[in-house]
Structure 1
Amino acid sequence: MGRIAGRFGRVEPRRRARALVLGLLSDLPRKNCWTLAEHAGDANPYGLQHLLSRARWDADAVRDDLRGFVVEHLHHQDAVLVVDETGDLKKGTHTVGVQRQYTGTAGRIENSQVAVYLAYSTPLGHAAIDRELYVPRSWTQDAGRCRAAGIPDTVAFATKPALAARMIGRALDAGVIASWVTGDEVYGGNPHLRTDLETRGIGYVLAVACGHRLATRAGKFRADALVKKLPKQAWQKLSAGAGAKGQRFYDWALADIAGEGPGHHQLLVRRNRRTRELAFYRCYSATRVPLSTLVRVAGRRWTVEEIFQSGKGLAGLDEHQVRGWTSWHRWVTLAMLAHAFLTVVRADEHAPHPRSDELIPLTCNEIQRLFTALVVGPGHSPAHRLDWSQWRRRHQARSQASHYRRQATQA
């Protein structure tokens, strides 16, 4: 918290931010302004709501501090930047960016809010270092709706790959050293993102669909048609990295393709050794690299899924109950900071302690339990809990009466 203290001009929001982050690191079953305020010892949630909506501080500046914190502690020569989006299911239509759209969280089209994240992934650990909220055209074409949600007038519609390119550029311009970028088909199929990375001289291993068309010396082919031309000896058994149940072994093959600019352009193919299912990656590198390097980068893409899982499960990344543009950015940034703290502590604990055959290394889950029990300390008095019970019931009674009055008026 000392790293971001200077971003707050007054001591009150600084203390509120600390209380919010401590609440996000707690073992509360639900994390929103009500539960976090009760955990912090406040009499009501108005202070935390003020911190997220009206207090004067810059969430983007805190994001820059967060990025520096993560890179400083997890820095490694094999660093990879990973881009991916995640969705949060929402009700209603007033929450910023919400519409019926596909989200991998539900695996179908749902009323949801989608955001794109940039992760910094190294052998020491991985954490999110940037975020961009996806604002659909249905919002950007409705000025009144955007104004009501607090979206700045300068915000225009941008695709998810464009948001990813924006975050990657910010990280590289800030001095983050990474030789590779990886992501799923949403990003691999976008030529503008690929061109931007090639212009910067950054290698990429980006997933593409089986129907993605590739140029070769013999003409253009679909990815699934090109793989059929590979000889049997082109396949090699390699691990994409360690998983929960051991090394993740697949068969891999590589084929040269044509690119519009200099450098080496290739199609990487992954084949499941049991189901024979295929996955395709479009690759670029300024100089030729071995197959094992491309496989390692492709395997790093899954770390962003671990970030989403632990960030939501441990730090309340998806539990925000805020509607506005400013509130969303502030909540998500502080949740990313809470998760980054767990990741950095985990990396610091692994470094000096040799691996034991009797114990697995400390996980973020276990670090959160120990931190909550040993550092944060015991809860509050029974009187505080009873006061909050009365506050909740009183607030809910007013809300219920308001709903009934509105219903009667409409009828």
Structure 2
Amino acid sequence: MIVDQTEYETAAACMVAAGELTREYQDELLGRVGWVFARREPRLQAGKYVRALTAEVPRKNGWQIAEWAGDATPDKTQRLLNHAVWDEKAVMGVVAGFVAEYLGAEADPLAVVVLDESGQEKKGESTCGVKRQYVGCAGRVSNAVNIVYATLATVRGHALAGARPYLPREWAEDQRRRARAGVPERVVFKTKPALAVDLLTDLHTARLLPPWATGDEVYGRDKDLRDFCEQHSMGYVFGVPCSFTVTLTSGRRVRADQALKLVPPKAWNRASCGAGSKGDRTYGWAWIATCSDRHHLLVRRNPTDPTDVAFFYAYAPDGRPATLPVLVSVAGRRWPVEEDFQVGKDQFGLDHSQVRLYTALLRHLVLAMLALAACAVTAAAMRVLSNTAAAAPTHPDDEPPEDPGLIPLTVAEVKRLANMLTRTGQRPAHHLRWSWWRRRHQARARWFHHRNRLRRSLQPARM
């Protein structure tokens, strides 16, 4: 296919601008956190660490980061994580403020904080918090540590804004293990929902608490977490298990799956909970009233498989509209945290740390979140300018466009472009050409995914 040179040059200029903007945001963030370091040396080393996390380092551990940074030994990197004097929680607060500011959380009435946990598989028994436990990213019980995260999602984009390592009870009650792992005295055993409350408390203290929260069943069934949200006038749409009980308007208390049996066929509504890479995520939704006019039970049903259902418990504070489109939109904003996990681990080494101490683990997470935030904000800022993708099909028989265009710049692509400005050995034009090709290929694939979704929507549902 012959490529129009003017089109390519325009796209290349946009991509170069994205790479430069990422560097500017990264420098701004590092400047904002400079005050937390007691000495100049760890502050400069933190800058090297963040740039290494953004670079094409195969395995982002202390040894390879030190090699990339030009250090003779990994001692400086290990000292930064283990012993240097700096406030990692303050850095996390700066990152959260940066994300909220540039993603426009204050101006978005549907801004959401998404709560979820993700694991890091480990070997041995010395890493702080490690034990055999279920790890969602691996889909099995494995030797791992778990981290509870908070993602801030707005209409402009999303990024990680908080993290807390999960310390199992057997670790919290074993003084020898605590001493070896350097666990601070203030850190005690807390459930994952309790750690989520801590994350929300930090956001509330910094006046960054968004109007809505969402999460899966682990968080939805915890009453303390729901009470915290309600006490701070924060709406929520949490996933809940089928055994979750609600009180109906009749005063009868039933399980969620029993309430589902009371829903008549005509009560289902088709609604999209957000746009995905393969089209709108459209489901059937049932809204079940409870004895409280501010609390609601939502049921989501797969349109192609009526037996595939999920339950959500929702709360809308006084003065905030409680409509089905609003609640469905909030529920749909839970997916960004999964994308942040994938991009954070694959691109920024969120789970690459080879540390044992509690403080070192938290510091690595904070610096990885900082690197991710700079690229995520750049992708959000460039989304409109960089999006030239052809309009999605409207009919299953539509013919593919001659020019599929380019998808918006993703966080991973922004990271590659930032590296292009410092990469040696090949001309920038080579990397720009590959970036252009990837985005064009993805735009074409996305168009066909949308058309296939339209064709499947015309097929009868399986009973």
Give TM-score, length-normalised by structure 1: 0.89
Which aligned pairs between 1:134-213 and structure 2 lie closer than 5 A? 134-213=166-245
Residue 378 of structure 1: aligned partner = 424
Residue 331 of structure 1: aligned partner = 364
Residue 322 of structure 1: aligned partner = 355
AA at the equivalent of 1:361: P
Give TM-score, length-normalised by structure 2: 0.79
Is the 2:386–2:406 Cα contact (8 Å) retained in structure 1? no
Is the 1:79–1:177 Cα contact (8 Å) retained in structure 2? no
Query: Which of residues 140, 156, 161 is equivalent to 1:124?
Result: 156
Give the whole-Å Cα distance in 2 for the aligned partners of 1:267 and 1:18: 47
Query: Which of residues 303, 310, 316 is equivalent to 1:285?
Result: 316
Residue 269 of structure 1: aligned partner = 299
Residue 385 of structure 1: aligned partner = none
Give the whole-Å Cα distance in 2 for the aligned partners of 1:145 and 1:25: 33
TM-superposed CA distance for 1:112, in Å, is 0.8
For the pair 1:364 / 2:411, whether they are aligned, the reply is: yes
Give the whole-Å Cα distance in 2 for the aligned partners of 1:354 and 1:142: 54
Give the whole-Å Cα distance in 2 for the aligned partners of 1:16 and 1:307: 25
Query: Which of residues 37, 47, 68 is equivalent to 1:18?
Result: 47
TM-superposed CA distance for 1:134, in Å, is 0.6
Per mean C-alpha deviation after superposition, the further-off stretch among 106-115 and 348-357 is 348-357
Residue 130 of structure 2: aligned partner = 98
For the pair 1:253 / 2:286, whether they are aligned, the reply is: yes
TM-superposed CA distance for 1:328, in Å, is 0.6
AA at the equivalent of 2:234: I
TM-superposed CA distance for 1:353, in Å, is 5.1
TM-superposed CA distance for 1:377, in Å, is 3.4
Residue 48 of structure 1: aligned partner = 77
Residue 35 of structure 1: aligned partner = 64
TM-superposed CA distance for 1:218, in Å, is 4.0
Residue 394 of structure 1: aligned partner = none
Which aligned pairs between 1:306-321 and structure 2 lie closer than 5 A? 306-321=339-354
Give the whole-Å Cα distance in 2 for the aligned partners of 1:326 and 1:172: 23
Is the 1:74–1:125 Cα contact (8 Å) retained in structure 2? yes
Give the whole-Å Cα distance in 1 for the aligned partners of 2:305 and 2:353: 39
Unaligned segments of structure 1, at least 5 residues: 380-411
Is the 1:140–1:156 Cα contact (8 Å) retained in structure 2? yes
Unaligned segments of structure 2, at least 5 residues: 1-29, 391-404, 426-463
Give the whole-Å Cα distance in 2 for the aligned partners of 1:232 and 1:286: 29
Q: For residues 108-164 of structure 1, what are the alpha-carbon distances to aligned partners after superposition, in whole Å with 9 as ceiling and x for unaligned? A: 221110010011001111111111111010111111111110001222111111110
Give the whole-Å Cα distance in 1 for the aligned partners of 2:92 and 2:186: 20
Residue 349 to residue 148, structure 1, CA distance change in 2 (3 Å): same
Q: For residues 8-36 of structure 1, what are the alpha-carbon distances to aligned partners after superposition, in whole Å with 9 as ceiling and x for unaligned? A: 23221111111111110012221111111
Residue 2 of structure 1: aligned partner = 31
AA at the equivalent of 2:345: K
TM-superposed CA distance for 1:356, in Å, is 4.3
- Percent of aligned pairs sharing the same letter: 44
